[in-house]
Amino acid sequence: MRTFIVLATLFLFSAPLHAETLQKPAANKERIVNTVRFLSEENSPRSAIRTNKEKTIHYIAKSLSAAGLEVTHDEFETAFHEDTFTNIHALKKGKTNKRIVIGAHYDIVPESPGADDNASGVAVLLELAFMLKEISQLNCDVEFVSYDAEELGLLGSRFHAKQLKEQKIDIVCMLAMDLVGYYSDKENSQGYPVPGMSLLYGTKGNFLTMIGRAEDTKLLADAQKVWQEATTLRVLSLPTPKGLDLLLSRSDHAPFWWAGYPALFFTDTADFRNKNYHEKTDTWNTLDYDRLAQVPIGLYHVVLMIDMH
């Protein structure tokens, strides 16, 4: 009997930290489509007109609230722009003061509906908030942030990363999503910044890219492993050698790199694949929603992996 009690105790304490993960969650594809369509078509241009921007902020805040989170708005100004900018924040409290930041910008370039850039990332951010709602408590705080003014020089994420540094918040990792919804199985649909990369990764744009710093190679490898075990969407992990980080600093992960924080950047590679990038043709009906719906699933498992380490 004593042996049985010991074995039973060992079994209980060897169970996964997040018991909820035994039931692999599915993403709500309809909710993802609705978000992309609202941001890129029904409320277009979503950030170029004040009334539309207010509707965009309300939509994102309402969605985060529906996921059980308390939402705050962080307004800021810069010396080079007359406008006031707004980041949208929501915090899921954990057991410790360590924090995982999940970010996606909501602003657009003029004249573009911005379905892939970056309504797709915002849709994933919101869906991930709903999925993590089912977990009672994580070890780390998880902060969801939809950034303003990425297209003006990463202003929203620069402001946020600086805030976190000044407040001495213990950032375990930042995850950024920017253009995550465009895929193609056609040959030669994928381009690369360096000749010869197609020999390694192929010519079809049917994968997602995960980019991190060279010193975060293990984090990239661990994230890729849990991603591939959980989803049907192939993800390629690319460590960024020191000296080349500026070439891959095109989105909201970059200010976190510069502040010394680990950050992973998820993208479909933008104009290396999607010729609608920053064009009027970046519309909601050009995206692959079956594959896009795999992105929050992969990120869900990456978040849990980071949280348990």
pTM of the model: 0.91
CATH of the domain at 70: 3.40.630.10
pLDDT beyond 90 at 10:
no
* % of residues, the chain, pLDDT over 70: 90
pLDDT beyond 90 at 7:
no
pLDDT beyond 80 at 21:
no
- The pLDDT of 82-101, averaged and rounded, is 96
pLDDT the model gives residue 219: 97
pLDDT beyond 60 at 85:
yes
Confirm whether 39 is domain-assigned.
Answer: yes
| Cβ-proximal residues to 16 (8 Å cutoff; 6+ apart), any chain | 22
- pLDDT-wise least confident of 136-150, 211-225, 238-252: 238-252
- Confidence band, pLDDT 50/70/90 cuts, at residue 305: very high
CA dist., res. 150 & res. 268, Å (int):
17
pLDDT beyond 70 at 244:
no
pLDDT beyond 70 at 12:
no
Residue with tokens 């991190």: 212
Instruction: Output the average pLDDT for the chain.
Output: 90
Confirm whether 12 is domain-assigned.
Answer: no
- The pLDDT of 274-299, averaged and rounded, is 98
Confirm whether 224 is domain-assigned.
Answer: yes
CA dist., res. 243 & res. 173, Å (int):
21
pLDDT the model gives residue 171: 98
pLDDT beyond 80 at 246:
no
| Cα separations in angstroms, 1 against 6, 8, 9, 10, 56 | 9, 11, 12, 14, 62
- Confidence band, pLDDT 50/70/90 cuts, at residue 240: confident
- The pLDDT of 55-81, averaged and rounded, is 96
Confirm whether 5 is domain-assigned.
Answer: no
DSSP bridge pairs for 71: 90
- Any idea of the CA torsion for 76, 77, 82, 86, to the nearest 10 degrees? -20
pLDDT the model gives residue 193: 84
- The pLDDT of 73-94, averaged and rounded, is 94
Q: Which domain holds residue 205?
A: 24-308
Confirm whether 16 is domain-assigned.
Answer: no
Higher pLDDT, 113 or 250: 113
Confirm whether 2 is domain-assigned.
Answer: no
CA dist., res. 45 & res. 109, Å (int):
9
| Cα separations in angstroms, 231 against 120, 182, 225, 277 | 18, 17, 10, 26
Higher pLDDT, 245 or 55: 55
User: How many domains would you assign to the chain?
Assistant: 1
Confirm whether 221 is domain-assigned.
Answer: yes
Confirm whether 63 is domain-assigned.
Answer: yes
